[in-house]
Amino acid sequence: MLIKVKVFPQAGQEQIIKKAEDSFEIWVKEKPIQGQANRAVISALADYFKIPRENIKLIKGFKQRNKIFEVK
């Protein structure tokens, strides 16, 4: 399943909001430096879906706010 995520790095608190069946907004505390925010988003999604982190892969948007993840 592919999901669209809008990421808000360096937020004061961590939060996940489900906008649609395949669309999320995620706030993370990490900075968007050297993939720190991307790793934090993967961890947040893994906790949300209750699956291992290895089952989530960033497909598109490595350096953009809008990203597409594959969830297995």
The confidence score (pLDDT) of residue 51 equals: 95
Q: Which residues contact 16 (CB under 8 A, 6 or more apart)?
A: 24, 25, 26, 27, 44, 45, 48
pTM: 0.91
Domain count of the chain? 1
Q: Mean pLDDT of successive 10-residue segments in the chain (72 residues)? A: 96 94 96 94 95 96 95 92
Ramachandran angles phi, psi of 67, nearest 5°: -130, 160
Report pLDDT for 11.
Answer: 93
Instruction: Give the structural domain span for 45.
Output: 2-71
The CATH number of the domain holding residue 18 is: 3.30.1200.10
Predicted local distance difference test score (pLDDT) of residue 46: 96
Whole-number pLDDT of residue 42: 96
- 48/33 Cα distance (integer angstroms): 23
